[in-house]
């Protein structure tokens, strides 16, 4: 199953547009703007459909024209924007649409259906099982209410290829007996709300970070979450700590935050990412963070640090330590300038950070700064490009965008700028995807 996260934020999104707290300020500064949580499965099934979901689909390059099923968890306004049904009726020739959910949620939808629109309402409650097109759906209880117990549910969704996910938004903490309903489910992915961070006292109908960890542990104990399950935190709100701290807290329970627009390939082994991706950006642009996020759902990744070690450089050591801390514990690190060798022998996804330091090392090794011949460096670049093309695993490389600043004042600076610009162009040409990160915001340059 292909799952596009149309939004990963709480009802008010994150940052809250009226808030100036540290968490909201950090999210705004990074450009990590989260809309209301919803997801699109295989372009045919919506998991929740709040008022922001249709616009989010378009912004993320998706159409809802082929959607045939909507699974609603409950009638809270961020999960149910019934006006979408009216907008759909304005398009001629619509196919039949199943709207599935608790009876109260369906009652909210009925007045919004066009008179000739082929919409079929299917009320469900916890304990139901039904076929929804090619999908098998089990309806689970939620400790979350709109007006009464039972008017919110969760979904256990199995795809035609045997992949299986849990959509648990909004849920609250489960009583012990509820875990029996998912005993040995071995979900490929779990999308679990984590709304309140360390302010879990705000509502029993939502999870904070402690409850999130406890629920994941319960799912793990029941065999519903395995070491291969991708556990994704959604419905994230500004009561959470800033992004770097949140990632670390979630890593402690082998989970990660979802991000708006992310495509999660459920039940397909190693997540499908473009085979070769170049990420460009200026200093402190967020390029390394974006590269890490591209591979965040991979069970294991080899991080190739091309800068090596710098004895006695405390500032460099601090930078390296910060990078290490935010990477998942399942990632391994290789410090080397022999990037071509790593590319040719890799057996798991690679993140190479960065090509600028790699090129600097080659210029150092061949004594170019002291008037050495450039031909050996050109040979090294040719070898790197050949290995990049042959690499058998998904690989993301980070590099500096150096062509947009002032002209360097020294001849060595101009040489480095020109050579790195040419290297970036060659890597981009040999890649399926290239992205420029500006002020923390990724801008797609190429996607095959």
Omega before residue 170 within 30° of 0, cis: yes
- Rounded Cα distance between 34 and 16, Å, is 9
275 is annotated as an active-site residue: no
| Angle at CA of residue 370, ends 365 and 376, nearest 5° | 40
End-to-end CA distance of the chain: 20
Contact between 169 and 193 under an 8 Å Cβ cutoff? The reply is: yes
Helix axis angle for 287-294 and 314-326, nearest 10°, is 30
- Rounded Cα distance between 217 and 212, Å, is 9
**Is the four-CA dihedral 300, 304, 310, 314 of positive or negative sign?**
negative
Helix axis angle for 243-251 and 22-30, nearest 10°, is 100
DSSP calls for 17-33: TT--SHHHHHHHHHT--
Contact between 9 and 260 under an 8 Å Cβ cutoff? The reply is: yes
Omega before residue 15 within 30° of 0, cis: yes
Give the CA count within 13 Å in the CB-facing half-sphere of 271: 24
Task: Tell me the three state secondary structure of residue 286.
Answer: coil
Q: Catalytic: which of 60, 275, 323, 378?
A: 323
- Rounded Cα distance between 50 and 282, Å, is 36
C-alpha distances in angstroms, 96 versus 66, 365, 419? 10, 66, 57
Cβ burial of 362 (10 Å; 0-12, 13-18, 19+) is buried
Paired strand residues for 233 = 192, 257
**Tokens matching residue 273:** 């990412």
The distance of Cα 249 from the centroid of its chain, to the nearest Å, equals 16
Residue 82: closest CA among 119, 45, 123, 129: 119
- Beta strand 302-305 pairing with 395-400: unpaired
Return the number of other C-beta atoms located less than 10 Å from residue 273's C-beta: 19
DSSP letter (8 states) at residue 53: H
Catalytic residues: 323
């Amino acid at each position: 199953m292909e799952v596009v996260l149309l939004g990963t934020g709480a009802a008010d999104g994150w940052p809250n547009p009226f808030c100036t707290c540290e968490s909201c300020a950090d999210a705004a500064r990074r450009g990590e703007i989260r809309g209301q949580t919803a997801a699109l499965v295989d372009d045919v099934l919506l998991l929740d459909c709040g008022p922001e979901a249709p616009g989010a689909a378009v912004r993320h390059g998706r159409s809802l024209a082929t959607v045939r099923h909507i699974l609603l968890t409950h009638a809270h306004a961020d999960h149910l924007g019934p006006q979408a049904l009216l907008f759909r009726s304005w398009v001629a020739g619509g196919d039949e649409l199943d709207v599935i959910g608790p009876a109260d949620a369906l009652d909210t939808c009925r007045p919004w259906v066009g008179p000739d629109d082929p919409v079929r309402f299917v009320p469900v409650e916890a304990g139901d099982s039904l076929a929804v097109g090619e999908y098998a759906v089990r309806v689970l209880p939620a400790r979350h209410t709109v007006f009464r117990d039972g008017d919110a549910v969760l979904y256990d969704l199995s795809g035609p290829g045997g992949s299986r996910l849990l959509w648990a938004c909004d849920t609250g903490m489960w009583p012990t007996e509820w875990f029996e309903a998912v005993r040995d489910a071995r979900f490929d992915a779990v999308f679990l709300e984590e709304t309140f961070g360390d302010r879990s006292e705000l509502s029993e109908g939502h999870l904070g970070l402690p409850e999130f960890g406890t629920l994941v542990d319960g799912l793990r104990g029941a065999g519903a979450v395995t070491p291969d399950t991708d556990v994704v935190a959604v419905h994230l709100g500004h009561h959470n700590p800033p992004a770097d701290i949140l990632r670390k807290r979630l890593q402690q329970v082998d989970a990660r935050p979802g991000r708006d627009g992310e495509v999660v390939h459920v039940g397909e082994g190693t997540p499908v990412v473009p085979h070769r991706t170049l990420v460009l950006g200026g200093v402190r642009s967020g390029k390394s963070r974006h590269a890490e996020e591209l591979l965040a759902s991979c069970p294991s990744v080899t991080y190739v640090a091309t800068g090596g070690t710098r004895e006695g450089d405390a500032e460099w050591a601090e930078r390296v330590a910060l990078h290490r801390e935010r990477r998942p514990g399942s990632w391994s690190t290789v410090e080397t300038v022999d990037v071509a060798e790593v590319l040719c022998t890799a057996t798991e996804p690679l993140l190479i950070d960065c090509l600028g330091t790699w090129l600097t090392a080659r210029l150092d090794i061949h004594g170019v700064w002291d008037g050495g011949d450039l031909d050996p460096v050109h040979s090294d670049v040719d070898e790197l490009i050949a290995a990049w093309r042959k690499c058998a695993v998904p690989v993301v490389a980070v590099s500096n965008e150096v062509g947009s600043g002032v002209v360097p004042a020294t001849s060595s600076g101009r040489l480095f700028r020109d050579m790195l610009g040419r290297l970036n162009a060659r890597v981009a040409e040999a890649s399926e995807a290239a992205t420029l990160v500006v002020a923390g915001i990724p801008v797609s340059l190429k996607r095959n």
